[in-house]
Amino acid sequence: MDVSVYRPQDLSQADLLEWRRLQASDSTLDNAFLSPEFAVALGRCRSNVRIAVTRDGAETVAFLPYQTGTFGIGWALGIGVSDAQAVICEPEFAFNPIELIRACELGMLEFDHLVTRMDDFGSISGTAPAFVMDVRDGYDAYMCQRNRSSGRLVRSLAQKRRRLIREHGELEFVFDSADWTALGALMGWKSAQYHETGWIDQFSRQWVRDLVQELAAYDTPGCRGTLSTLSVGGHLIAAHFGIRTATRLSLWFPAYDVDYRRYSPGLQLFFAMAEAAPEYHLGILDLSKGEMPYKDSLASWAYPVASGRVEVNPLSVLARQVVVRARRKVIELTVEHPHLGVVVPRALSRIDRVQ
């Protein structure tokens, strides 16, 4: 076996075709976050993106997308923003993660959304459920299930929807919108939500904004940016941006106008997206991991995703622990001193550069 490391933009067309073939060979890899297009888009926004290509003679057998840092620290591609991470290979391909990471000249590799081949990674620190809205049998079948398990929520949303229309006008839903003004509004709402809930604002990082805008222009079978909007009386009240394959939509950044909170506009949008999904040949709406009440209400089932790391060099592990402590301290300061404002994102940005 031979492992070569490339920047995403340096992969050949033959490499990209082989990546897509290997991804299609395993249904657990059906996720736009695992597509070569996502890796290329992130590579345009972050200079530390790398792709390890494993070859057996003339045959390409695996791809490992990841990001590099100082002190030999490495991360699965898009850690912190990606909802799926994996080695892209056929199901029967056997690999040694330590040898693979060593071939990448890394001292460790950390992951937080490993979706497959968990038995091949010996350093799993934990798993969590990732929730799924399943409309493969049609929206009516999905709603029958929701009525059985979440009937009160369904009835409440129907009442709120009628009241919303009565008080504000007709609803307009667009599953695949090209309204980039709405995308800007979504980012603003999401930033406000992050601040309100005490989370670090993802959109305070320019590279995240650039990544979303980059993906919004993608229109390929393996990775297509999808902006969905819900308006009432001509006024935008909810929006969602995600990426999709030919059959699976990864729900990523949902947000809504808090002035319409009493109508549950976010949930109204999710149900509208589920109803429209079969028309676009989508059977799965992936809500990702995270224990949130609305996911329990919407989900048909869940699958496990893993967190952990592959350790090769103890010094890299120690360096990572120092970085984690520094980030944790900055986040604690955010909670204790919210008036710090832009100082916190700048501090996190500097820590990211150290990484």
Q: Domain extents for the chain?
A: 2-130+306-354, 136-282
pLDDT one digit per residue (tens) for the chain, 355 residues: 799 999 999 999 999 999 999 999 999 999 999 999 999 999 999 999 999 999 999 999 999 999 998 888 899 999 999 999 999 999 999 999 999 999 999 988 999 999 998 888 767 889 999 999 999 999 999 999 998 888 899 999 999 999 999 999 999 999 999 999 999 999 999 999 998 888 889 999 999 999 999 999 999 999 999 999 999 999 999 999 999 999 999 999 999 999 999 999 999 999 999 999 999 999 999 999 988 888 989 999 999 999 998 888 655 555 565 666 666 665 555 555 565 555 555 555 554 544 4
- CA separation, residue 154 to residues 27, 142, 171, 268, 277 (Å): 31, 12, 18, 10, 18
Look up residue 31 and give its two tokens.
């996720």
Q: What's the CA gap between 11 and 59, in Å, rounded?
A: 15
In the block, tokens 């597509």 appear at 35
Look up residue 48 and give its two tokens.
């530390």
Nearest-CA neighbor of 9 among 204, 214, 212, 249?
A: 214
Q: What is the pTM of this model?
A: 0.89
Ramachandran region, residue 198 (left: φ > 0; alpha: ψ -120 to 50; beta: rest): left
Q: What is the pLDDT of residue 138?
A: 97
Evaluate whether 2-130+306-354 and 136-282 have a shared fold.
yes
CATH 3.40.630.30 given to domain 2-130+306-354? yes
Q: What is the pLDDT of residue 333?
A: 59
The three-class DSSP label of residue 78 is: coil
33 with 82: CB under 8 angstroms?
Answer: yes
- Nearest 5°: phi and psi at 54? -100, 130
Look up residue 345 and give its two tokens.
């994102």
- Nearest 5°: phi and psi at 156? -65, -40
Which CATH class for the 136-282 domain?
alpha beta
Look up residue 330 and give its two tokens.
């900055």
Task: Quote the Cα angle for 36-37-41, to 5°.
Answer: 120
